[in-house]
Amino acid sequence: MQSAALLSALFIFLIGLGVLLVITLFILDISQTKDAIRHNFPVIGRFRYLFSRLGEFFRQYFFAMDREEMPFNRAERDWVYHSAAGIDNTIAFGSTKPLNTPGTVLFVNTPFPTLDEDAYRTPPLVIGPGCREPYMTSSLIHISGMSFGAISIPAVRALSHGAKQSNCWLNTGEGGLSPYHLEGSCDLVFQIGTAKYGIRNSDGSLSEAKLREIAAIPQVKLFEIKLSQGAKPGKGGILPGAKVTEEIATIRGITAGKDSVSPNRHPEISNFTELLSFINRIRDISGKPVGFKIAVGTHTWLEEMCDMIHQCGTACAPDFIAIDGGDGGTGAAPMPLMDSVGLPIKAALPKVVDILQRHGLRNRIKVIASGKLITPSETAWAFCVGADFVTSARGFMLAMGCIQALKCNKNTCPTGITTHNKRLQQGLDPQQKAVQIKNFVDKIHYGSRLIAHSCGVPHPRALRRRHCQIIQANTQPISLDQLYPSQETLPEYRLAVEQESAQESSS
């Protein structure tokens, strides 16, 4: 009897507490004027915001079809998850991809595909052959820039070890070089952002002494000058103050706890004369290949740069150009720039390759493609168009377990990848995730080779534009070599390495 009475009293107390809470919320809502919904519909109006937040969750798991979500749909994410886990990623009963939708990429298979015994390894490419320390790699895909700060310590460790196991490079991002980048002994691309984090003087200018220290590290193979990125062209990097820890501040050379906002361009680079001068300054000091990353809008700038290169000599040219599509991603970016500025990679890449080809600089300057290229069909498309390498950031985040929670800028990432919350980081085991990264790279290579062999060529870099078609508005396909006819012939350096590889294979 006593226990029943206690339960009854507790029940009455909870009801009373609930009524008191509702009355309190009613008074708060009706007395405030900042939110019209809550004022006009007190208490009930609060459910609007609750349902809005829950809608993001329900759409992802219950309502959206396999090919509907953005930025990456469920089919794409599942392919990466299965590949990274090393489990079967074949599908059954037909594709869920709408193959007649305008813009769909289809590859042209041959009646006589390449036999395994006729295929040979993807030939290595050399970046910066005229440098004191040129760089050579045969990997098709590499890890794009993600700064320590934007991503966590365990994530950087996983990427470093995973890149080493995969024989691909890891771009440091603009946040400077941390000890965690070096931990896996992988090849590194040091990105020089507009704020010169890690190699800056107190006034934000380039410190040549610090640059020499970075260049002396054997793992640092390349330097990339970041002019702009696809998610926010014309806007510098943004790291919220909540993510600027003491360690990050020390590595970057900034103040802890304050927003880290980079200038929207390099103050010392306002034209192509200054750009080429800065490239050669970095290359002379470091002795290593130097290029730049850019999100493409108009193409007149590239024509102007190519003309200037011919005036000063091809030795002054950048060793590579990394093209970041407007469909690129980041941890924090203004929506107007994220949604409405910059060409997608499928519009930008062909034009850049063709301009370099037309100016006779395609052999001199390597081209790196980036922007939502996370599956073999997307990387194979890039090689058909003329890219030398593909890089990805979000693809590797997904390989580490990212669930596309869209909380990268909130320091609340549930998978521990983009948060500095120690509790949330505990679920990210760098050694395990490194294996997943290797599996992902291996599957990209394997899937790209499948497409290449189906098209009748020995490896993905041998793909031409004639091997790829794009569905038009009338549902009929048109070949890439008809859309972009000037790049049908492979650049001379590609032909040379292919012939060399074929000779090695036959011998």
Q: What is the pLDDT of residues 227-269, one digit of tens each?
A: 987 666 666 777 778 778 888 888 888 888 888 788 888 989 9
**Mean of all residue pLDDT scores within the chain:** 84
257/117: higher pLDDT: 257
- Angle, nearest 10°, between helix axes 153-166 and 430-454? 40
β-pair type (135-137, 125-127): antiparallel
Lateral strand order in the sheet of 105-107: 105-107, 468-471, 477-479
The per-residue pLDDT for 202 is 83
Six-digit token pair at 223? 């330097």
Give the pLDDT score at 196.
92
pLDDT score of 70: 67
Q: Is the pLDDT of residue 13 over 70?
A: yes
pLDDT at 423: 87
Instruction: Write the pLDDT tens digit of every residue in 132-162.
Output: 999 999 999 999 999 888 889 999 999 999 9
In tens, the pLDDT along 53-73 reads 666 666 665 555 555 666 777
Looking at per-residue pLDDT, the higher value among 506 and 211 belongs to 211
More confident residue, 4 or 269: 269
> Are the C-beta atoms of 353 and 385 separated by less than 8 Å?
yes
Judge whether residue 443 has pLDDT over 90.
yes
Higher pLDDT, 113 or 37: 113
Backbone angles phi, psi at 440, to 5 degrees: -60, -45
How far apart (Å, rounded) are the C-alpha atoms in residues 374 and 445? 11
**Which range among 341-345, 437-441, 447-451, 458-462 shows the weakest confidence by mean pLDDT?**
341-345
Output the pLDDT for position 404: 81
Nearest to 169 by CA among 120, 210, 125: 125
Residue with tokens 């990212």: 402
Q: Average pLDDT of 409-437? A: 86
* pLDDT single digits (tens) 367-392: 999 988 989 999 999 999 999 999 99
**Amino acid 135: pLDDT:** 97
Give percent of the chain with pLDDT exceeding 70: 86
329 with 345: CB under 8 angstroms?
Answer: no
pLDDT reported for residue 166: 95
Instruction: State residue 52's pLDDT score.
Output: 64
What are the counts of helices (DSSP H) followed by strands (DSSP E) for the chain? Answer: 18, 15
Q: How far is 203 from 167, CA to CA, in rounded Å?
A: 37
Q: Average pLDDT, stretch 78-89?
A: 84
Q: Which residue has the higher pLDDT, 198 or 507?
A: 198
**pLDDT band of 439, cuts 50, 70, 90:** very high
76's CB contacts (< 8 A; 6+ apart) are 374, 375
Question: pLDDT, tens digit, for every residue of 470-482?
Answer: 888 888 888 888 8
Confidence of residue 505 (pLDDT cuts 50, 70, 90): very low
Three-class secondary structure of residue 130 per DSSP: coil
CA–CA dist 164, 328 (Å, integer): 25
CA distance 173 to 504: 37
Q: Name the band, by pLDDT with cuts 50, 70 and 90, for residue 485.
A: confident
- What pLDDT is stored for residue 159 in this prediction? 96
Stronger pLDDT, 81 or 285, i.e. the higher one: 285
Question: How far separated are the first and last CA of the chain, in Å rounded?
Answer: 93
What would the mean pLDDT of 327-350 be, rounded to a whole number? 73
User: Where would I find the H helices in 167-217?
Assistant: 179-182, 208-215
Q: What is the pLDDT of residue 65?
A: 56
* Domain parsing of the chain, residue ranges: 2-63, 132-455
Mean pLDDT along residues 224-229:
89
Given a cut of 50, whether residue 172 has pLDDT beyond it is yes
Contact 333, 235 (CB under 8 A): yes
CATH superfamily membership of 132-455: Aldolase class I (3.20.20.70)
Confidence of residue 504 (pLDDT cuts 50, 70, 90): very low
Q: Which residues contact 207 (CB under 8 A, 6 or more apart)?
A: 196, 199, 200, 201
